[in-house]
Chains A and B, each alone.
Chain A
Amino acid sequence: MTVSETQGTAAAKTASTQDRQERRLPISEKLLRMPIVLPLITFVLILIVWEAGTRLFAVPSFVLPAPSRILGGFESVTAGRWFEHIWATLRVALIGYAVSFVISLPIAVGLAKSRLLSGAFYPLLVVIQSVPVVAVAPIIIVVLGTGDAPRVVITFMISFFPLVVSMTTGLAATPPELIELSRSLRAPSFREITQIRLPYATPYIFSGMKISITLSVIGAVVSEFVAAEKGIGYFIQFSTSMFKLPQAWAGLVILVIMSLVLFQLVSLLQRVFFPWSLPKGQK
């Protein structure tokens, strides 16, 4: 038996003892170990305290509506109207996100490969990132008119920076030995990007993508606050102006769910297609 084989069987043994220990646990303990259970319990408890508190102290619904009132807020608009609003926001968020990704990638490759480009453009990117997008949004709407274009631009401005930074960091994080290997093979330099640097940057790119996807939803909502006749952002603003607070809260709940689902989709994408890029213990 070689060294490697002994190591392999030893690893298999410890794994199987762990399995057996897990099976011996009581059901209550097993449930508590499931990742979803504890946060769910916390969430339900908060809802109960919230509901009881608002009833007990007769809190007016424009200050803080009870969860049951918020639930009622969903019924104030038809499902068809909800879907129109949701789709309007989702569409802008996703297009803006896609544009951010497509534009960030070549920028990041340029910044990572060339010190000149990095010196010339990185400060500019920081300046763009430092502009308060909410303040620029009305200007962009005036310049680009109505329709999706200005909203996509606003979403892009909010969501692209984390992508550029994470991609650039990732592209530069490649082990120098692999770059030397590439040079020692005299391989074309585009393959150094596609076969070594980009795959190595994948974990970094995904952390940027996870931050950016929620920022995209924020961008879409901000653009709707400024000028829109559809979308969840528009719906919340419209509802508050009519003093229909439970309805506005319902819109907020939808936005939270939308962000969560999009975030989970990005995580799922990573787990399914790039499982090796996950940190150890998350596979």
Chain B
Amino acid sequence: MALTNNAISFSSVGQTFLTGSGSVTALDGVTVTIAQHEFVAVLGPSGCGKSTLLRLTAGLMKPSKGTVSVFGKEVTMPRDDVGIVFQKPTLLPWANIEDNVVFPVRHKYGRVTADDRAQARTIIETVGLKGFEKRLPSELSGGMQQRVGIARALFLNPDILLMDEPFSALDALTRDAMGFELLRLWQASPKTVLFITHSIPEAALLADRILVLSERPGRIIADLQVPTARPRDESALRTPEMQDFSAELRSLLIRKEAA
């Protein structure tokens, strides 16, 4: 694989946090490269530094050891071509859906043009919320609110989309529906996606490739290609090879927890 194709690369990255009771090592010796337009899920137990991986890529923190690069350039501060979807939608409760989606522009540049609004409406339609532009977030269900969160992250048309357990606060049915929705969006407009999750079926359904992190200090203990071709639907999860694959992931996670 040519170096120029790498969207994200971690080179022996370690992250240590100072807390009141000493230092905590969240990540240790993480080396991995993610190609452009690759959909990578990061799977691991809670508190293993999955979110740290995401925040390092976003430039929201600096690694204690090693380097993180995006498109071949070391990340020293947040970049314009990276969008983030958080665990909770964290919309602005006073702003309607359209204003929430254009918020990145209003916040960064202080003003919003008619073009921005037109683009926001297109994205709102893409995420399936046409007709809700003037509603307040509190009038929407949890799943719809997270769609707005995704629309807001897509608004600046980032090349890289970072998603921090975006569907974990949703009920099981909505969660599945949102997974397929995300696949549809990603296939329509391919982006490099780093998707943090602790759900094996979610990771197996969505990703091209799965990184399994160990418990703290987080190390990459497995780097696996998902054995199913796209496009995938629910039946993809029930094929024998996918069942075996899920079982393999599960044993990796369980072994870690027993250790």
Seen from chain A, the residues whose Cβ lies within 8 Å of a Cβ on chain B are 2-4, 7, 175, 177-178, 180-188, 191, 195-196, 199, 202, 274, 276-277, 280
Contact = CB atoms under 8 A, between A and B. Distances in A.
Contact of B128 (A4, A175, A188): A4
A7 B141 CA distance: 8
B136 A276 contact: yes
B59 A184 contact: yes
Contacts of A180: 55, 58, 60, 84, 86
Considering the complex of A and B, which 8 residue pairs feature the smallest CB-CB distances, nearest first?
A177-B90, A177-B86, A184-B78, A185-B108, A276-B94, A187-B107, A175-B90, A187-B108
A177 B92 CA distance: 11
B76 to A, nearest CB: 12
A47 to B, nearest CB: 41
Interface string B81-106: 01010111010111000000001101
Contacts of A181: 84, 86, 90, 104, 107
B interface bracket (residues with beta carbon within 8 Å of A): 20 to 34
Contacts of A7: 141, 144
A4 B142 CA distance: 10
A2 B128 contact: yes
Given A183-B60, A276-B136, A276-B138, A195 B107 contact: yes
A183 B82 CA distance: 12
A242 B59 CA distance: 74
Contacts of B200: none
A179 to B, nearest CB: 10
Contacts of B174: 3
Contacts of A274: 94
A4 B92 contact: no
Contact of B88 (A177, A184, A191, A277): A177
B94 A195 contact: no
Consensus secondary structure, chain B interface: loop
Contacts of B143: 3-4
B88 to A, nearest CB: 7
Contacts of A191: 107, 110
Contacts of B173: 3
B77 interface: yes
Nearest to B96: A276
B92 A186 contact: no
A105 to B, nearest CB: 18
B177 interface: yes
11 contacts: A2-B128, A3-B143, A180-B55, A181-B86, A183-B78, A184-B58, A184-B82, A186-B77, A187-B107, A277-B94, A280-B138
Contacts of A175: 88, 90
A175 B78 CA distance: 19
B236 interface: no
B129 interface: yes
A188 B60 CA distance: 15
A7 B87 CA distance: 22
Contacts of B128: 2, 4
Given A7-B144, A181-B107, A184-B82, 13 more contacts: A3-B174, A3-B177, A4-B129, A4-B141, A180-B58, A180-B60, A180-B84, A180-B86, A185-B108, A186-B78, A191-B110, A196-B92, A199-B94
